[in-house]
């Protein structure tokens, strides 16, 4: 019998966000931010690889510091 708990490390989260109007967009994406971003006008969606939804939000806010988070959900790509 083992008391080791294994946590999945390859989860994906879908983060819906809003960008501020009439501002210059600042983007700080590096290779460390493992995410796919789609922007349509003022709104965007990011699929972020993370261990939990809080870290997914933190990753997105590192990329877009002025973004307003609308919703975060676990993403299943099947």
User: Residue ranges per domain, the chain?
Assistant: 12-74
pLDDT digits (tens, 9 = 90+) for 5-32: 777 767 899 999 999 887 777 777 777 7
What b/e string do you get for 34-59 counting C-beta neighbours within 10 Å, with b at 16 or more? ebebeeeeeebbbbbbbeebeebbeb
Look at residue 78 and tell me whether its pLDDT is greater than 70: no
Overall pTM surpassing 0.85 (yes/no): no
pLDDT digits (tens, 9 = 90+) for 28-65: 777 777 788 999 989 999 999 888 899 999 999 988 88
């Amino acid at each position: 019998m083992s008391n080791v708990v294994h946590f999945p490390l390859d989860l994906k989260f879908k983060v819906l966000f809003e960008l501020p109007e009439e501002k210059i967009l600042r983007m700080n994406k590096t290779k460390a931010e493992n995410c796919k971003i789609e922007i349509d006008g003022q709104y965007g969606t990011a699929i972020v690889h993370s261990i939990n939804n809080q870290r997914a939000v933190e990753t997105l806010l590192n990329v877009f510091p002025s973004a307003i988070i609308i919703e975060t959900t676990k993403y299943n790509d099947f």
